[in-house]
Amino acid sequence: MPQNRRASGQITAPTSRKASAEAPHVPSSNARRASTLNQPQAQEFVIVDSEDPPPPPARPSSRPPPRTAPSPPSAVDHSESIDSLSSSQQWELPSIPTGSLDFGGGIDTTFSVEGTPTPPPPPKPAHPQSSQQAPAPKSTEVHYSADDLVAIWGRVGVHLCEAATQLYEKSKKSLVGDGTYTGFVNAALHEVPNAAHSTPPAWGHLIYSQAAGSVQKRLSDIMPGDIVALFDAKLKGHKGLATYSQTVGAGEPLVGIVSEFEPKKSKIRVFQANQHVGHQTVEAASYRLEDLKSGIVKVC
């Protein structure tokens, strides 16, 4: 019995291994069909009973409209672009020349562009300058000597005094000038051809000036025919045994023509316009320069 078991074990075992090795396991069609039939019924229900998708839309029978090209830019945009281009070109800086320019006349106008800009050298003077400073311009005021002033008085002053005397006599019957101090003096100057018609307050060359009791200027003696002007002058002194106080030239300067001068008493007699009511238009007055307490007296 034991031998038969061994024999059967030795014979059957190799045969089954070999058969399994030589013939691979191929599933049969029946097995595939059975596996297919054994799938769940839900998949068959979804496939069979699902609704069909909607059909695609039908193609249009007519051809689509052609695409239109974009419209060209308007003339306004074109002009604006030209204006902007021209305005941008106006601000372009010109190129700086690197060479030298010759303007003639021997003036050096070369300049260098490289490095820090330096100012051009000053032009050479036509005449060499001296090391000393140039003299100051002369004053326009004319200086006359005492002899020159006497000569001018002989040509003008004498005739002006005669004209003032005639107007004084004429004023007893008629009006002379416009009733003002300057009006009378101008009327007398018009009677003298050699007299220069000056504009107040400059009546001519100043020969005498006094402020209060101090003499500021004295080039010559006061002569008949000279023009005297008193500016806010206050005089106070004695006339005989009595004292007096007088103020003239407060509003406007008192201007008159000297008819006589007394150097010892420092007293001048003057023809001037009479501004008193009811009297002749020209009067004769006298002033003592040593009695001047305040104000200014000028004689031309």
Predicted TM-score (pTM) of this structure: 0.53
Task: Please give the Cα distance from 223 to 221 (Å, whole number).
Answer: 6
Report yes or no on 226 lying in a domain: yes
Task: Please give the Cα distance from 197 to 74 (Å, whole number).
Answer: 80
Report yes or no on 153 lying in a domain: yes
- For strand 282-288 and strand 267-273, is the pairing parallel, antiparallel, or unpaired? antiparallel
Longest dimension (CA), the chain: 207
Report yes or no on 1 lying in a domain: no
Q: Report the pLDDT value the prediction gives residue 160, as an integer from 0 to 100.
A: 92
Report yes or no on 82 lying in a domain: no
Q: Report the pLDDT value the prediction gives residue 2, as an integer from 0 to 100.
A: 46
Report yes or no on 77 lying in a domain: no
Sign of the C-alpha dihedral, residues 126, 128, 133, 135? Answer: negative
Cβ atoms of 255 and 182 closer than 8 Å: yes
Tell me the pLDDT of the chain (300 aa) as tens digits: 444 444 444 444 444 444 444 444 545 544 454 454 455 554 455 555 555 666 776 665 556 666 665 666 555 455 555 555 555 555 556 666 555 555 555 555 555 545 555 666 766 655 544 444 545 545 456 777 777 888 888 888 899 999 999 999 998 888 888 888 999 999 999 998 877 777 666 788 888 999 998 999 988 889 999 999 999 999 999 888 899 999 999 988 999 999 999 998 899 999 999 877 767 789 999 999 999 999 999 998
Query: Which DSSP string corresponds to 41-82?
Result: HHHHHHHHHPPPPPPPPPPPSSPPPPPPPPPPPPHHHHHHHH
Q: Report the pLDDT value the prediction gives residue 172, as an integer from 0 to 100.
A: 86
- Structure tokens that stand for 68 in this block: 């239109």
Report yes or no on 134 lying in a domain: no
Report yes or no on 268 lying in a domain: yes
Domain assignment of residue 195, given as a range: 146-299
- Residue 220: CB atoms within 10 A of its CB come to 19
Question: How many domains are there within the chain?
Answer: 1
- Rg, Å, the chain Cα set: 67
Report yes or no on 132 lying in a domain: no
Q: Report the pLDDT value the prediction gives residue 276, as an integer from 0 to 100.
A: 78
If we measure between CA atoms, which residue out of 234, 287, 236, 233 comes closest to residue 260? 287
